[in-house]
Every structure is written in structure tokens, then in C-alpha cells.
């Protein structure tokens, strides 16, 4: 018997380095995409900061600027009937 007949399949091949296997890049790509997306989201949050509204002096001009608790309580109130009926 020759030595080539005794070898198991795959023994004659040299193993490739880890970066040559496509599955490695599929595993690394998911977390890498999340990291890139988080940096993008952080940059958006830093560039487009929401203004702080001073509600202590009653400077709320539109209902969309009302504090959350006041807006929530207003929406939970029952509808009022007009007084002129």
C-alpha cells in the first residue's frame, strides 16, 4: 500500500488561515454593522439636539410643546359639551 492510500480525506490539504473562510466574515459582519449604525445614530443625536423648552414661565406656544404629563392628562379627560347648548 502506498502512503497516499492510507490518508484520510482532507489530510493532504493545508488548512487555510481564518480570514479565508466566508463564514467568519458572516459572523463578524453582523456585530460590525451594529457598531457602525450606533455611531451613525450617535452622530445624528449630537448634530440635531432637541431644544429645551422653559415651561415654568408658561412659554408653551403650541400643544406639541406641552409637557408630556399635561398632554397625557388632557387626552385622558372626557370630551366636554359646549356650554351654549
State how far the Cα of 65 lies from the Cα of 54, in Å rounded to an integer: 10
Q: What is the pTM of this model?
A: 0.48
Judge whether 44 and 36 are in contact, CB under 8 Å.
no
How many helices (H) and strands (E) in the chain?
Answer: 3, 0
pLDDT digits (tens, 9 = 90+) for 23-49: 999 999 999 999 999 999 999 999 998
| Percent of the chain predicted with pLDDT > 70 | 46
> For the chain, what are the domain ranges?
17-48
How many CA within 13 A on the CB side of residue 48? Answer: 6
Q: What is the mean pLDDT of the chain?
A: 76
The per-residue DSSP string of 29-45 comes to HHHHHHHHHHHHHHHHH
Amino acid at each position: 500500500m502506498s502512503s497516499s492510500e492510507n490518508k484520510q480525506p482532507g489530510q493532504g490539504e493545508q488548512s487555510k488561515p481564518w480570514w479565508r473562510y466566508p463564514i467568519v466574515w458572516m459572523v463578524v459582519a453582523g456585530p460590525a454593522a451594529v457598531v457602525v449604525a450606533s455611531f451613525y445614530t450617535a452622530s445624528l443625536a449630537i448634530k440635531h439636539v432637541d431644544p429645551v423648552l422653559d415651561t415654568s414661565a408658561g412659554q408653551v406656544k403650541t400643544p406639541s410643546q406641552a409637557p408630556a404629563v399635561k398632554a397625557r392628562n388632557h387626552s385622558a379627560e372626557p370630551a366636554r359639551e359646549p356650554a351654549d347648548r
